[in-house]
């Protein structure tokens, strides 16, 4: 296993991190939404050997969150890591979306320590920050709370995970002496959310960068379209789609570790094998050009030509137009993942953020540099993704 420095923390972390968001569950149907069903208990007979194998092969960074697996992820991870607590780093996250008042910071954190069966966590992050959750929790004094639990030794290092655009990301980075951040980054989403600019900016400030979704929740590894498969097959060096995706992330020297949400022992073994070659600047210019070609091939499958520039925002009603188009496009590029796109649309977007909230004022269309008929496309988004809650 290879290791890298996690920014200001000084921790030496494995380049492959174990994300405990998609652990195997009992009663799995094979649906991509199984791991998001809080009614399905984690299959500990399968999960525990996966955790043990990862530790035995050098993985030392384990990531969870309050809401993963309906609250069960932290409990199972705590059991799996109890016997080797001094050999691993545990990261978990404050559920910023659930916080109603300042008293909730301590309430959630204390509960998480009990779930994890530990006196401290190595990394505590504010979960999934975006403009609204950042402003709200900051005004409640969340930064003072982080200062306190770090000074008390109950959290060794403080950071945040992120889902918004680069402008918000830079503001958050500059607002506190963070030690690390967690961003979505893969070759398909190179310029989405914080993106490449955010990766470089965080590193320039000395932050460790934890990458989530390096294989985009399995989308870049499973059910690969024929045109993309043909491109991968054309490479002189043969690699699996998952290997190409992970190697591309690790090729960036700014990346400290990449989290993989592994659901099977086979995935654990494959990712550990791939991680042995996860060095920086190890892909040739020709290989990087091939990855660029794969990305553009995916993008040609898009139904809406939205670049995510955000000029249409803010919507006066609250509709999150670029994010909706992104999920809509994904549901066509990765048709076997349409259930996940629909699940996120129905369960993670507020009613005012969904396409159905559009009042057809047309102000967004006046500002769109791509001249997209946004009002009509939003109707198609809602038609495709609006389904009963899963």
Residue 201 near residue 162 (C-beta atoms within 8 A): no
Rounded to whole angstroms, the Cα distance separating 47 from 261 reads 12
- Domain count of the chain? 2
Q: Examine residue 296 and state whether it is found in any structural domain, yes or no.
A: no
Point out the domain boundary residue: 248, 275, 290: 290
**What is residue 213's three-state secondary structure?**
coil
Q: Examine residue 306 and state whether it is found in any structural domain, yes or no.
A: no
Burial of 165 (0-12, 13-18, 19+ CB in 10 A): buried
Specify the pLDDT at position 33.
61
Q: Examine residue 300 and state whether it is found in any structural domain, yes or no.
A: no
Specify the pLDDT at position 118.
97
Specify the pLDDT at position 36.
64
Q: Examine residue 83 and state whether it is found in any structural domain, yes or no.
A: yes
Section 157-167 average pLDDT: 93
Section 142-163 average pLDDT: 97
Q: Is the same domain home to 117 and 250?
A: yes
Specify the pLDDT at position 369.
67
Q: Is the same domain home to 42 and 176?
A: yes
Q: Examine residue 304 and state whether it is found in any structural domain, yes or no.
A: no
Q: Which residues pair with residue 94 across a beta bridge?
A: 126
Residue appearing with tokens 């949400």: 261
Q: Is the same domain home to 236 and 375?
A: no
pLDDT in tens, 168-222: 999 999 999 999 999 999 998 898 889 999 999 999 999 999 999 999 878 788 7
Q: Examine residue 311 and state whether it is found in any structural domain, yes or no.
A: no
Q: Is the same domain home to 122 and 269?
A: yes
Q: Cα dist. 187→175, 241, 291, 370 in Å?
A: 28, 12, 7, 23
pTM score, whole prediction? 0.84
User: 78: domain CATH number?
Assistant: 3.20.20.100
Q: Examine residue 213 and state whether it is found in any structural domain, yes or no.
A: yes
Point out the domain boundary residue: 290, 306, 332: 290
Q: Examine residue 315 and state whether it is found in any structural domain, yes or no.
A: no
Q: Is the same domain home to 228 and 348?
A: no
Taking Cα atoms as reference points, which of 33, 344, 21 lies closest to residue 182?
A: 21
Rounded to whole angstroms, the Cα distance separating 358 from 165 reads 22
Q: Is the same domain home to 328 and 181?
A: no
* pLDDT reading at 138 higher than 90: yes
Section 151-162 average pLDDT: 97
Q: Is the same domain home to 29 and 95?
A: yes
pLDDT in tens, 27-82: 876 655 666 677 789 999 999 999 999 999 999 999 999 989 989 999 999 999 99
> What's the domain range around 91?
3-290
Residue appearing with tokens 């803010």: 314
Specify the pLDDT at position 34.
66
Query: 62-76, 257-271, 306-320: which range is least confident on average?
Result: 306-320
Looking at every residue in the chain, the average pLDDT score rounds to: 92
Q: Is the same domain home to 362 and 286?
A: no
Confidence of residue 389 (pLDDT cuts 50, 70, 90): very low
Specify the pLDDT at position 340.
84
Confidence of residue 119 (pLDDT cuts 50, 70, 90): very high
* pLDDT reading at 320 higher than 50: yes
Q: Is the same domain home to 113 and 214?
A: yes
Confidence of residue 164 (pLDDT cuts 50, 70, 90): confident
Rounded to whole angstroms, the Cα distance separating 258 from 252 reads 11
Q: Is the same domain home to 87 and 153?
A: yes
* pLDDT reading at 151 higher than 70: yes
Point out the domain boundary residue: 245, 274, 290: 290
Rounded to whole angstroms, the Cα distance separating 129 from 34 reads 25
Query: 147-151, 244-248, 319-323: which range is least confident on average?
Result: 319-323
* pLDDT reading at 15 higher than 90: yes
Q: Is the same domain home to 92 and 232?
A: yes
Q: Is the same domain home to 193 and 342?
A: no
Produce one character per residue of 332-344: b if its CB has 16 or more CB atoms within 10 Å, e if not: ebbeebbbbbbbb
């Amino acid at each position: 296993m290879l290791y890298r420095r996690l920014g200001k923390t000084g921790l030496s972390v494995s380049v492959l991190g174990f994300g405990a968001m998609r652990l195997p569950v009992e009663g799995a149907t094979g649906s991509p939404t199984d791991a998001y069903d809080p009614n399905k208990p984690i299959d500990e007979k399968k999960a525990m050997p996966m955790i043990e194998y990862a530790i035995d092969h050098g993985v030392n960074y384990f990531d969870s969150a309050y809401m993963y697996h309906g609250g069960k992820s932290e409990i199972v991870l705590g059991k799996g890591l109890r016997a080797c607590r001094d050999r691993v780093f545990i990261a978990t996250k404050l559920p910023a979306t659930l916080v109603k008042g300042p008293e909730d910071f301590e309430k959630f954190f204390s509960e998480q320590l009990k779930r994890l069966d530990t006196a401290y966590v190595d990394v505590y992050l504010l979960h999934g920050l975006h403009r609204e959750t950042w402003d709200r929790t900051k005004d409640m004094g969340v930064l003072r709370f982080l200062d306190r639990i770090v000074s008390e030794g109950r959290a060794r290092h403080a950071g945040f995970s992120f889902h918004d655009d680069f402008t918000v990301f830079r503001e958050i980075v500059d607002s506190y002496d963070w030690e690390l951040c967690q961003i979505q980054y893969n070759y398909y989403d190179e310029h989405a959310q914080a993106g490449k600019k955010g990766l470089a900016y965080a590193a320039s400030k000395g932050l460790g960068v934890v990458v989530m979704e390096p294989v985009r929740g399995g989308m870049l590894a499973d059910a690969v379209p024929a045109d993309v498969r043909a491109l991968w097959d054309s490479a002189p060096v043969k690699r699996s789609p998952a290997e190409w995706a992970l190697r591309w992330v690790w090729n960036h020297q700014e990346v400290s570790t990449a989290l993989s949400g592994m659901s099977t022992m086979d995935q654990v073994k494959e990712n550990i094998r791939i991680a042995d070659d996860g060095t920086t600047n190890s892909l040739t210019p020709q290989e990087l050009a091939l990855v660029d070609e794969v990305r553009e091939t995916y993008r040609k499958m898009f139904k809406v030509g939205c670049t995510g520039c955000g000029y249409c925002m803010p919507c006066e009603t609250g509709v999150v137009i670029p994010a909706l188009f992104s999920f809509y496009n994904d549901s066509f590029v990765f048709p076997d993942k349409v259930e996940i796109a629909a699940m996120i649309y129905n369960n993670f977007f507020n009613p005012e953020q969904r396409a159905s909230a559009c009042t057809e004022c047309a102000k967004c269309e006046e500002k769109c540099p791509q001249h997209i008929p946004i009002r009509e496309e939003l109707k198609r988004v809602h038609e495709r993704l609006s389904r009963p809650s899963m």
